[in-house]
A and B are shown apart, each in its own frame.
Chain A
Amino acid sequence: MDARIKLLRILAWLSAFFVICSFLMLIGFLIYHGAPVINTSLFFGNTAPLEAITGSRPVWDGIWPAFIGTLCLVGLTMAISLLPGIGCGIYLARYSEGRKKEMLSMAVDLLASVPSIVMGLFGFVLILFLRRTLAPDATTCISLAAFCLALLVMPALVVTTRSSIESLPDSLVTTGISLGFTEQQMLLHILIPAAGKGILGGIMLAMGRAAEDTAVIMLTGVVVNSGLPAGLGSKFEALPFLIFYTAAQYTDQEELLRGFGAAMVLLMLSAALLYAASKLQRTMEKHWKGAR
């Protein structure tokens, strides 16, 4: 018996070690290649930084437009997916019953299993359909990419919201009801804040996915060189696509290194987004709990 526990412990330790090692190797590899090339010229090329940031002059050989493009894309994706994703999770956890619940959660599971390239194809076909029917001028653009990405990341939001609300103790609901909370007050002031950490987990997953996905945007509007995104209907650049493109098409060592730099920046961008989200959640939770 004792030996078995020991074996289990060693296995668990090895597994943890494996995860840490893989993580460190990946990060180390990226930093080794990427860190030396991170400077203003990686971002802005030969354009003056201030002019590039204000957009008064285009950036030709820097990753700035792709950086901003990815930021806009993630923002737009979250704007589209947050409300329906979390709303659907709440509906599944609190209001649906029986067959309806089964059907809906199966639909969400199916949506979660759609490969991103298929989602990209869907967006492409959708725009073809729109061109033939309602909007003959419609073309692939950042809105379409964000819409398809939103479909891709929504299941993560639904599932985490649902499970974190369902895992709250029943006594919380009973307490709220006995204190005269209406259903709406219960959701807003007790259930959603109490499940905040879990819901944030879903938001992080969704943001990470939206920031790194390449297959969807490749078919729905990303290009190699478009400058900063000009509007909701414009083409755009994005870091993951830039990395993919560089890896496939680089001609000299310098270009390859720029790809590593972009990968490093994408990683930092994701980390910053995640940090901001968790900071926001902690602040909100502190406010809700009123605890110092």
Chain B
Amino acid sequence: MALCAEIKNLSVSFHGRKAVSQVSAELPAEGISVLLGRSGSGKTTFLRALNRLNETFQGYEGSGKVCLSLGGKMKDIYSADQLTPTDLRRKVGMVFQIPNPLPMSIRRNIMLPLQLIPGFNRSKAEDRMETALKTTGLWEEVKDRLDTPANRFSGGQQQRLCLARTLALEPEILLLDEPTASLDKKSSELIEDYLISLKNRYSMVMVSHNIRQALKLGSFFIFLREGKIVTAISKKELPEGKEAEKIMSDLL
């Protein structure tokens, strides 16, 4: 089985409080890996270890090893000589729980991160913006309003914009932190559909607290409790239908 991530003895604490302790896991490259657990179980911290976001918060202390498959090779993302945090975060894109467009127009939201990559030319950026907006089904809705401030759009549209902004950077791995938690049912389903359509192109790791959604999208599940992994199962090991949901909620 090809892997997208290999985590060994990962521990993270903030202000001395352990969020994740001594966690080891291997995530498959194919499909969506879903991290499940109650609030405070360390799901988000686990996810943020994969793009080194934890270290930007106050009181961070961490240890352990995280290797990601980037450019066809397993790379230790915490070792200084392999790649810089900046490069890593462009390769490992992230979508957050609450849509977080920058306070600027749709166009600038996608173009600014691209323009800041050294040696990136503008017309190529325009192309990438269009492709990314098409991939998330937003192009038809916003193509005449690219210069409108992003925060005037609906929550669902903003979240798809954030997904498009991440995709425009052409990442290899996508991290999704409860991407539908703040959206209504219809917008959630739309996002879910786009994620399914993307799962053959990117390795994805998603945090979810919704078992129905996890079963719909995921192919590999990791259950966390109090900062430790309880169990990890792949979808193949689960029975079909209602029974799977029951097993999953028992594990939660």
Contact surface of A with B, Cβ cutoff 8 Å: 171-182, 185, 189-190, 194, 288-292
Determine if B53 and A181 form an interchain contact, defined as CB atoms under 8 angstroms apart. Answer: no
Chain B positions within 8 Å of A290 at CB level: 104-105, 107-108, 111, 147
Minimum CB distance partner of A194 in chain B: B103
Distance (whole angstroms) from the CB of B152 to the closest CB of chain A: 9
Contact of B53 among A172, A177, A194, A288 (CB under 8 A): A177
Which of B68-76, B82-90, B219-227, B236-244 forms contacts with chain A?
B82-90
Determine if A175 and B102 form an interchain contact, defined as CB atoms under 8 angstroms apart. Answer: yes
A179 to B100, alpha carbons, bound, how many Å? Answer: 11
Distance (whole angstroms) from the CB of A131 to the closest CB of chain B: 50
Q: Mark B56-99, 1 if CB is under 8 A from A, else 0.
A: 10000000000000000000000000000011111001101010
Chain B positions within 8 Å of A173 at CB level: 56
Distance (whole angstroms) from the CB of B61 to the closest CB of chain A: 16
Chain B positions within 8 Å of A194 at CB level: 103
> Could you tell me which residues of chain B, from 9 to 45, have a CB within 8 Å of some CB in chain A?
none
Decide: A291 near B89, CB < 8 A? Known: A173-B56, A174-B53, A179-B169: no
Determine if A178 and B102 form an interchain contact, defined as CB atoms under 8 angstroms apart. Answer: no
Distance (whole angstroms) from the CB of A250 to the closest CB of chain B: 53
Minimum CB distance partner of A292 in chain B: B147
Distance (whole angstroms) from the CB of A292 to the closest CB of chain B: 4
Determine if B105 and A289 form an interchain contact, defined as CB atoms under 8 angstroms apart. Answer: yes
Determine if A289 and B103 form an interchain contact, defined as CB atoms under 8 angstroms apart. Answer: yes
A143 to B249, alpha carbons, bound, how many Å? Answer: 74
> Could you tell me which residues of chain B, from 143 to 178, have a CB within 8 Å of some CB in chain A?
147-149, 165-166, 169
Contact of A291 among B87, B90, B149 (CB under 8 A): B149
A sample of 20 cross-chain residue pairs with beta-carbon separation below 8 angstroms, ordered by A number, consists of: A171-B98, A177-B53, A178-B53, A179-B166, A179-B169, A180-B87, A180-B88, A180-B90, A180-B169, A181-B86, A181-B113, A189-B116, A288-B108, A289-B104, A290-B104, A290-B111, A291-B104, A291-B105, A291-B108, A291-B148
Determine if A288 and B104 form an interchain contact, defined as CB atoms under 8 angstroms apart. Answer: yes
Distance (whole angstroms) from the CB of A176 to the closest CB of chain B: 8
Chain A positions within 8 Å of B149 at CB level: 289, 291
Chain A positions within 8 Å of B56 at CB level: 173-174, 177
Contact surface of B with A, Cβ cutoff 8 Å: 51, 53, 56, 86-90, 93-94, 96, 98, 100, 102-105, 107-108, 111-113, 116-117, 147-149, 165-166, 169
A189 to B109, alpha carbons, bound, how many Å? Answer: 11
Chain B positions within 8 Å of A181 at CB level: 86, 113, 116
Chain A positions within 8 Å of B86 at CB level: 180-182
Chain A positions within 8 Å of B105 at CB level: 289-292
Shortest 7 CB-CB distances between A and B: which pairs? A290-B108, A180-B90, A180-B89, A290-B105, A289-B104, A179-B113, A292-B147
A176 to B148, alpha carbons, bound, how many Å? Answer: 20
Contact of B116 among A171, A172, A185, A289 (CB under 8 A): A185
A175 to B158, alpha carbons, bound, how many Å? Answer: 14
Decide: A289 near B89, CB < 8 A? Known: A177-B56, A178-B51: no
A250 to B45, alpha carbons, bound, how many Å? Answer: 74
Chain B positions within 8 Å of A185 at CB level: 116
Distance (whole angstroms) from the CB of A13 to the closest CB of chain B: 33
Chain A positions within 8 Å of B112 at CB level: 189
Minimum CB distance partner of B114 in chain A: A179
Chain B positions within 8 Å of A182 at CB level: 86, 116
Minimum CB distance partner of A188 in chain B: B116
Minimum CB distance partner of A178 in chain B: B94
Chain A positions within 8 Å of B87 at CB level: 180
